[in-house]
């Protein structure tokens, strides 16, 4: 048995490697250097290059947009070991992800756990084809860290809900086809009056207004709902029990954000520093920056090991104790420290905002954007609260 499985996996690896080599266009094996090199799909989805389109369609035919979901939901039906091999082989070649969508990373896991079979078949199949671009409607003007304070209300009107209110910080809100929303369906209790609703952004009464960020970019929107009719079948899970789904989805969001790593993997920070600062007697010429880089690289390497340990502990059936809040906090903290240090390493060049040489201030804009890491998906402070209470069991009074 054992050996047979091994043989099968080995041949899967070889086949996969061969297929990727034959089908992934060369330019899709280059590191991503700009957000528009990712394909987000949806009804407004535009390919930024011919190769990107070819690559997406190849993976679509292979059912590898979401390789690890069951085939009845449109996935590739790979088991975890096969999926792992596919990931390894893709990173070996440097293949880009063919498609990015909050439907895959956030909504999908929640649907798999809480939706009806009918909903799963309908929505997951769409997600696997990249047809729908999903956005997240959680935060409101008065419901940020205190998310359960949300007020957007959904009234029961027999065959539909009538939704009125507004959401804020909706990432890519103006580009979304559907929004997964937390709405208030009862005012009797704060946490148990919330429901999880899927809303078509083309419905009458939905409008968005872009918000410009300190990075100068505008990937955000405010989303308004003015008496929007939403069919009852768009409710996921039980009425008034949406908070359970909301929290489950957040753990996936945190894992995704915690994994925000380097955007430019071509050079390590120390290599960048050697180019910009130079070396004296084989050592980086500025000893203060040198020790900051060493300290950061130490923590990055050990954080990677900690992710691996958590996975291995999980496989071995142990609870490693490290929760998604910890990974979100620490992963984003390191990513932010790195952006900060990158500015020190690159000196005057790092603050250029519009010049051509600076690729329209790429570096400076990344730095500004990175400040959001400790806010989105629950702030640093909120993650620390969760660790203190849930993991360490510290008292509330």
Ligand X SMILES: Cc1cc2nc3c(=O)[nH]c(=O)nc-3n(C[C@H](O)[C@H](O)[C@H](O)COP(=O)(O)OP(=O)(O)OC[C@H]3O[C@@H](n4cnc5c(N)ncnc54)[C@H](O)[C@@H]3O)c2cc1C
Contacting positions for another protein (CB under 8 A): 268, 270-271, 273-274, 279, 282-284, 290-291, 293-295, 297-299, 301-303, 305-306, 308-309, 312-313, 315-316, 318, 320-322, 326, 329-330, 381, 383-385, 387-389, 391-397
Partner from ligand X, another protein, none binding residue 139, C-beta < 5-8 Å depending on class: ligand X
Phi, psi of 136 (to 5 degrees): -110, 120
Among the residue ranges 104-112, 133-141, 265-273, 331-339, the one whose residues contact ligand X (CB under 6 A):
133-141
Partner from another protein, ligand X, none binding residue 330, C-beta < 5-8 Å depending on class: another protein
Q: Which of 56, 26, 28 is nearest to 40 (CA)?
A: 56
Select 82 or 332, whichever has its Cβ closest to ligand X.
Answer: 332
Q: Which of 225, 237, 169 is nearest to 200 (CA)?
A: 225
Select 130 or 137, whichever has its Cβ closest to ligand X.
Answer: 137
Give the residue closest to ligand X by C-beta: 144
Among the residue ranges 39-47, 290-298, 359-367, 375-383, the one whose residues contact ligand X (CB under 6 A):
375-383
Q: Are 364 and 358 in contact (CB under 8 A)?
A: yes
Q: Are 374 and 380 in contact (CB under 8 A)?
A: yes
Q: Does 379 bind ligand X (CB under 6 A)?
A: yes
Distance CA 82, CA 364 (A): 39
Q: Does 385 bind ligand X (CB under 6 A)?
A: yes
Q: Is 131 exposed, middle or buried (0-12, 13-18, 19+ CB in 10 A)?
A: middle
Spell out the residues 6+ positions from residue 260 whose beta carbon is closer than 8 angstroms to its own.
331, 332, 335, 373
Partner from ligand X, another protein, none binding residue 299, C-beta < 5-8 Å depending on class: another protein
Q: Does 171 bind ligand X (CB under 6 A)?
A: yes
Partner from another protein, ligand X, none binding residue 214, C-beta < 5-8 Å depending on class: none
Spell out the residues 6+ positions from residue 120 whose beta carbon is closer than 8 angstroms to its own.
73, 111, 112
Q: Does 368 bind ligand X (CB under 6 A)?
A: no
Q: Which of 104, 94, 150, 98 is nearest to 127 (CA)?
A: 104
**Two structure tokens written together for 347:** 């000196």
Q: Does 186 bind ligand X (CB under 6 A)?
A: no
- Which residue in the set 16, 170, 185, 195 belongs to the binding site for ligand X (CB under 6 A)? 170
The CB-of-226 to ligand X minimum distance in angstroms stands at 19
Phi-psi region of 124 (alpha: psi -120 to 50; beta: other; left: phi over 0): alpha
Contacting positions for ligand X (CB under 6 A)? 136-139, 144-145, 169-171, 372, 375-376, 378-379, 381-382, 385
């Amino acid at each position: 048995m054992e050996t047979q499985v091994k043989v099968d996996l080995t041949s899967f690896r070889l086949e996969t490697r061969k297929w990727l080599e034959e089908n992934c266009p060369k330019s899709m094996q280059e590191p991503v250097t700009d957000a528009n090199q990712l394909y987000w799909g949806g009804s407004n989805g535009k390919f930024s290059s011919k190769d990107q389109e070819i690559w997406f369609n190849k993976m679509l035919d292979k059912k590898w947009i979401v390789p690890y979901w069951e085939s009845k939901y449109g996935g590739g039906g790979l088991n975890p070991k096969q999926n792992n091999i596919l990931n390894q082989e893709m990173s070996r070649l440097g293949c880009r992800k063919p498609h990015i969508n909050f439907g895959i990373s956030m909504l999908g896991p929640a649907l798999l756990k809480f939706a009806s079979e009918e909903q799963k078949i309908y929505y997951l199949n769409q997600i696997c084809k990249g047809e729908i671009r999903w956005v997240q409607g959680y935060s409101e003007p008065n419901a940020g860290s205190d998310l359960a304070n949300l007020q957007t209300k959904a009234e029961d009107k027999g065959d539909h809900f009538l939704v009125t209110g507004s959401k804020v910080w909706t990432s890519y809100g103006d580009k979304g086809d559907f929004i997964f929303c937390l709405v208030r369906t009862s005012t009797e209790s704060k946490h148990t009056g919330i429901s999880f609703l899927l809303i078509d952004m083309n419905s009458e009464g939905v409008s968005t207004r872009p918000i410009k960020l300190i990075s100068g970019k505008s990937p955000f929107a405010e989303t308004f709902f003015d008496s929007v009719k939403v069919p009852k079948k768009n409710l996921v899970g039980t009425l008034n029990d949406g908070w359970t789904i909301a929290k489950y989805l957040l753990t996936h969001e945190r894992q995704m954000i915690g994994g925000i790593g380097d955007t430019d993997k071509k050079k390590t920070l120390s290599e960048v520093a050697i180019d910009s600062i130079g070396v004296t007697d084989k050592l980086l010429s500025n000893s203060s920056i040198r020790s900051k880089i060493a300290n950061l690289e130490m923590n990055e390497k050990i954080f990677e090991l900690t992710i691996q340990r958590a996975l291995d502990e999980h496989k071995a059936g142990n609870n490693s104790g490290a929760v998604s809040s910890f990974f979100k906090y620490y992963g984003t903290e390191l990513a932010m420290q790195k952006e900060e240090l990158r500015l020190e390493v690159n000196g005057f060049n790092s603050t250029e905002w519009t010049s051509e040489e600076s690729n329209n201030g790429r570096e400076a804009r990344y730095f500004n954007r990175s400040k959001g890491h400790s806010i989105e998906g629950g702030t640093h402070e909120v993650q620390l609260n969760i660790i203190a209470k849930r993991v360490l069991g510290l008292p509330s009074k």
